[in-house]
Structure 1
Amino acid sequence: MARTTPPRPIDVEALCPEVADYRKTAVRLHPRLGDPSARQSSLGGPMLWPLPEPWPHCEDDHPRTAFSPPAQGPIPLVPVLQLFATDVPDLAFPGGTDLLQVLWCPFDHEDGYVPRPEIHWRDSSLSDLRPADPPRPAGPHDDYLPAPCVLHPERVTDYPNWDLPDEVADALEARFEQLKEETGWSYWYHLSVSDGVKVGGYPTWTQEPDWPTCPICNVHMEHLLTINSAEFGGESWRTWLPIEDTPATGTIWDLPYEQRTEIQCPPGLTLGDMGGIYLFECTSCPGRPFAYRSDSS
């Protein structure tokens, strides 16, 4: 079943033409529990892997937290996200590739106290790609192990939230407040940045932005994708809950806990107290330098 974000209840650009120059296209992936194959785009599903390439391991030192590894030594990474270009044509794949894979170490790292991700770009037509049978790490918490989910990609428009320049936000403050008083709609929660797991657009920061800088060209990196703990939040569900998941009566919060959780948090991830992990890259420099950031709700 496709997933469709409801049309915004307010024409953002008509109300605030100042934000039009900052619009970006995002692709909400709408993961839902399922049984994806290694030749499908998925979150938490099986991956293709080159036969001669060893499965990656993490050899970092890990801080002592509730999500620390039970013993030191190399830790096999776990599959997180696999995206084929046919499902996300808006994503600029490097030349000769059509497959993006995200893996991470399923234990806390000093940098953000969340899993440490890494990415791989591949050509899915290569004959040596086979469904992977990766080793399982010992002792990871379920919060860092995504349940297998199929994806339902959907293009939406993002407007900046935390990333709206201060001078623009200041100029629009009175209009935003009037909008909230007269309609109950908040630009910040309901009309700006799309929620959930997504490609492109703006990161769904829950704290002040922390854009990484490319170590080669020294400019801000581009947002590649966001892996969020939830499809929508307590304030944002009114505009980011897909039409297909909207209850016939009542609201999403009236559903039984298990049923609501399968809609709001299908992969079962909890990152930084319902926060997210944001992946960035520089598409201008050789090797497409990569970085990540995280925050907590």
Structure 2
Amino acid sequence: MPLTTPPRPHNLFEYLPELAEHSRLAVRLHPREGAPRTDESSVGGPLLWPADEPRPLCRLAHDPIGERPLAQALRLRFAKEDRRLFEARTGPFDQQRQEDAERELMLRIVQEAHPGFDPGDPVPLIPVAQLYYRDVPGLPWPDRYDLLQILWCPLNHTGSQTITPYCPAFQVRWRMAAEVEMQAAEAPQPVMCVEEYMPRPCVVRPELVTEFPNYDDLPEHLQEAVTDWEDRIGDGVDYGFDIALAPGWKAMGHGGCWSLYEPYPMVCECGAEQLPLLTAASGEFDSGTVSWQPIEEANAGWSLSDPVGVHLGRGNKFQLHYCPESEHHTNRTEIF
């Protein structure tokens, strides 16, 4: 079923026609829980993967904060043992000592279930998004590719020039689907994960929408014009939340609203400005963006506010950028 964003409260082009030159098309993915196949676009679904291509591993340094065993049975067992550990504690509470004891307990339980497990081993990456160009218009280099695949490591990372600290680390694959003659068997699963980084398998209902820059990215004279427009309208409509940036999971567009850092350009090592490729969000909408809920789901209430179940930071968005000069240049990420 196609999903349709309600019309925005106001048509900004009527009031500020100059904004048109700063607009971009974005594709709202509208992920919804389901059972996607390898020949379908998806979030958190299986990937069309060649049998002769090794599955990617993360070899970066990991921070154990937030790690838990992947298997449900192990998570339940850890919860029970962790509770006993907490109840057996005596004396003043020492948070660091408690965290160290929990990690030791977790590692012991995991090693019992997976003999030979070494927390320093490379970690299998998991599927985050598979986007066929037929579903998502505007993806880069359509003359060379018709399939974009994005994976990430479901553990925290200490950060680098291209990876945001304490968030998943991405890898990207660009493909021609017809060149995958024989598909790989089921993908390996990581033994450990940060549960909030494990997306539920979702089908997608892509929708093309127009986005405008975040307020802080506008030229100064347009910032003033937008502020004057909001004051003149006087109905409480907010440029950022209600007009400019679609919430939820999406491809391309302008992406996110800077809230944790002062805005800065995402620049490639070649000097080109990098552009948003995928925005992974902690939910589809919240109390400030509920006006973006699709028309077809107007009576669904909050039941579809978080179908993917991924939570980044403290309810933030995580954005992957690409260099328009070459798909071989390093991708960069930021959290909003």
Asked if these proteins are the same fold (TM beyond 0.5), I'd say yes
Is 1:198 the counterpart of 2:250 in the alignment?
yes
Please tell me whether residue 186 in structure 1 is matched to residue 238 in structure 2: yes
1:16-65 deviations in Å (ceiling 9; x for gaps): 22322211111101000011111100001111111111111111111242
1:54-93 CA distance string (max 9 Å, x none): 1111111112422488522110000110011111122123
2:263 alignment counterpart: 209
Alignment size in residue pairs: 280
- Tell me the residue number matched to 1:170: 224
Match of 1:277 among 318, 322, 330: 318
In structure 2, the residue matched to 1:52 is 52
- Which amino acid is the alignment partner of residue 203 of structure 1? G
Partner Cα distance (1:11, 1:245) in 2: 23
Matching residue's letter, 1:245: E
- CA separation of 1:131/1:265 partners in 2, compared to 1, >3 Å: closer, same or farther? farther
Question: Once structures 1 and 2 are overlaid, which stretch shifts more, 116-125 or 200-209?
Answer: 200-209
**Which residue is 1:290 aligned to?**
331
Relative to structure 1, is the Cα distance of residues 132 and 23 closer, same or farther in structure 2, using a 3 angstrom cutoff? farther
Q: Out of 148-157 and 221-230, give the one that drifted further.
A: 221-230
CA contact (8 A) 2:250 2:280 kept: yes
Which whole-Å CA distance do the structure 2 matches of 1:142 and 1:63 have between them? 14
SS at the partner of 1:79? strand
Other-structure match for 2:206: 153
Indicate conservation of the 8 Å contact 1:68/1:108, yes or no: no
| Per-residue CA distance 1:247-296 (angstroms, 9 max, x = gap) | 18xxx3xxxxxxx24x111010001111111111112236244221123x
Asked if 2 retains the 8 angstrom alpha-carbon contact of 1:29 and 1:152, the reply is yes
Q: Aligned letter for 1:237? A: V
Distance 2:327 2:203 in 1: 32
Q: State how far apart, in whole Å, the 2-side matches of 1:33 and 1:146 are.
A: 10
Distance in 2 separating the partners of 1:46 and 1:237? 30
Question: Contact 2:48–2:180 at 8 Å: present in 1 too?
Answer: no
CA-to-partner distance for each residue in 1:208-237, whole Å, 9 max, x for gaps?
434321102x12111112111111222111
Q: Contact conserved, 1:85 with 1:93, CA < 8 A, in 2?
A: no
Deviates more, 1:24-33 or 1:62-71: 62-71
**1: CA distance, partners of 2:244 / 2:184:** 39
1:225: which partner in 2? 278
Structure 1 residue 108 corresponds to structure 2 residue 156: yes
Q: Distance in 2 between matches of 1:117 and 1:68?
A: 20
Structure 1 residue 138: Cα displacement: 1.1
Mapping 1:70-89, distance limit 5 Å: 71-89=119-137
Between 281-290 and 105-114, report the one with greater CA deviation: 281-290
Q: Secondary structure at the match of 1:125?
A: helix
1:234 aligns with 2:287: yes
CA gap 1:122/1:286 in 2 versus in 1, 3 angstroms: closer
Question: Deviation of residue 206 (structure 1)?
Answer: 4.2
Q: Which has the higher helix share?
A: 2
Q: Do the aligned partners of 1:77 and 1:103 also contact (CA within 8 Å) in 2?
A: yes
Distance 2:232 2:65 in 1: 45
Look up the equivalent residue of 2:316 and give its one-letter code.
Answer: G
Structure 2 distance, partners of 1:210, 1:72, is: 34
**Relative to structure 2, which stretch is displaced further, 202-211 or 96-105?**
202-211
Q: Which moved more, 1:83-92 or 1:63-72?
A: 63-72
Q: SS of the residue aligned with 1:119? A: strand
Q: CA deviation at 1:127?
A: 4.1
**d(CA) in 2 for partners of 1:200 and 1:10?**
23
CA shift, 1:8, in A, is 1.1
Kept after mapping to 1: 8 A contact 2:44/2:201: yes
Cα offset, 1:11, TM superposition = 1.0
Partner of 1:257: none
**Letter of the aligned partner of 1:137 in structure 2?**
P
1:169-192 C-alpha deviation (Å, 9 max, x unpaired): 02331222232x2x2321121011
Unaligned runs of 5+ in 1: 253-259
RMSD: 1.9
Deviates more, 1:59-68 or 1:13-22: 59-68
Please say which of residues 66-75 and 98-107 is displaced more in the overlay: 66-75
Q: Give identity over the alignment, percent.
A: 36
CA distance in 2 between counterparts of 1:170 and 1:9 reads 20
Q: TM-score, normalised by structure 1?
A: 0.88
